[in-house]
Amino acid sequence: MEQTTAVRPATSQQRAARAARNGGEPTLEFADRVPYDAYVHASTLHRLQQPLSDDPGEMSFLMVSQIMELYFKLTCHELRHAQREVRANRIWEALPPLRRAALHLEGLNAAWQGLRWMTPADFNRFRDRLGEGSGFQSAMYRQLEFLLGLRDPALIRPFRRQTDVHAELTAALATPSLWDDVVALLARRGFDLPDELLDRDVAAEHEPHPGVEAAWVRVYADSGPDNHLRLLGDALTEVAEQFGDWRWNHVKAVQRTMGAKVGSGGSAGLAWLQRSMARVVFPELWSARTAM
């Protein structure tokens, strides 16, 4: 059973005194578990890999999937932080978490590199063991999509018997997306947006609106250094672009490992993924570029 020793805080003076006692060498003796493990829980993380086959390549597939799940959660964490700042009209304060989110998405994209070796023959050696398991069923990925404004209430149905997960996703659907809050911010900043857009059912996916597009055209017309809305648009664009890259990398990975075969989760596989890419994140940020 894992020990639960807490991390003990240390001051800069204590660190300096310890280094002096150690003669510059690292501390090698601890009363309980090492502080690094108490903080990172590495011993727990490294027990979570439980392959279903004897194929050595399955470990890559399993661990890359777990790494992506952690990146999904980390990106959601940053986007929720940014969302709180946007709701509070603190645009400048929303920029750092958005920049971090874009960098985390860049790391998420890099994780695909660990699967570039996988051919259909490689995947087929353990694919049947996965049964109906599919990345389509990732609850944290759904949370990320919902935050970005990609919403389909039907996609939470697989979690109905996981009551806690289903409740979290239901709550996420009932909460405005980051884009909803950005649109509301534009309205508070004096841009003319209709009430039906601002008071819409947030569980439904946002439909591109000419008023939102016109607002961004006006925002980008001001190139002054104090135009924080333009900086917000740039940060959101980077998030959308990195997320779009992840979706495209997913399509390429599926093409490489299984071609156009049906998906493990019951979908049309590659064709379903290609259709889903037509749903654009922060759509008016992109369409406004035509009118700029």
Binding residues for heme are 250
Give Cα separations from 187 to 8, 118, 182 (angstroms): 47, 48, 9
- CA separation for the pair 70, 131 (Å, rounded): 23
CB burial readout 162-181, b (16+ within 10 A) else e? eeebbebbeebbeebbbbbb
Feature table: binding site: 127, 250
Give the orientation angle of helix 228-258 with respect to helix 139-148, to 10 degrees.
140
DSSP assigned state of 52: S
Which residues neighbour 226 within 8 Å (Cβ) at sequence distance 6 or greater? none
Comparing C-alpha atoms, which of 105, 149, 87 is closest to residue 244? 105
Residue 21: φ, ψ to 5°: -65, -35
Comparing C-alpha atoms, which of 7, 61, 64 is closest to residue 34? 7
Feature table: binding site for substrate: 127
DSSP H helix total and E strand total for the chain: 14, 0
Comparing C-alpha atoms, which of 151, 125, 94, 108 is closest to residue 257? 125
Other CB atoms within 10 A of residue 20 CB = 9
Asked if residue 270 lies in contact with residue 255, where contact means CB atoms within 8 angstroms, the answer is yes
